[in-house]
Amino acid sequence: MGLRKRLSLSPNERTVFFRATGGYLVAALVFLLDRAAKVWVLHSLLVGESFPVFDGILHITSVRNTGASFGMLRGATEFLALLSAVAVVMLVYLVYRLSAWGRGYSLALGLVLGGAAGNLWDRIAYGAVVDFIDVRAIHYPVFNVADAALTVGGILLGALFLFGKKGRALWKGEW
């Protein structure tokens, strides 16, 4: 058997490979968008400085968060960095493993992976996560691109597990 034959993938393996690649590309895009936005904020605004995009509705406000969402675990940067690193490693595996379940899982996990990697970078590089999106119309905590991707990916993943065919099978014990 030739090398080409041994390296060829079955149609199902090719599908999973391309879906997983799509998930990794989504993660890379989220990570790069998050980094670009944060670099701009770091070079343009002092901590606490703000300017309106739509006055009273949306502002760009430079904030550093040493905790997790909504200020929980404030000051636990090292613990959160370790937790994030473990999550990123697990997500790299899950993107490939669950890509067999469909494109939605690849997309959702890619969003979560990119967001987790973006915030992990901040914790390692700056000792805190750089937040800047300030939605004042609803008095929501300041967040960033990575947080938005984590939230959207998590909601999509939850919906897939609750309402998707594979998710329903998992709940019924048919997995």
List, in order, residues 6 or more apart from 103 with CB less than 8 Å away.
19, 22
Burial class (CB in 10 A: 0-12, 13-18, 19+), 140: exposed
**In terms of DSSP H, where are the helices of 56-102?**
77-98
pLDDT at 166: 74
Structure tokens at 33: 């968008």
Q: Active-site positions?
A: 131, 147
Prediction pTM value: 0.87
Residues of the chain with pLDDT under 70: 1-7, 9, 70-71, 73, 75, 167-175
Angstrom CA distances, 169 to 12, 128, 158, stand at 20, 40, 14
Query: Which amino acid type is present at position 108?
Result: A
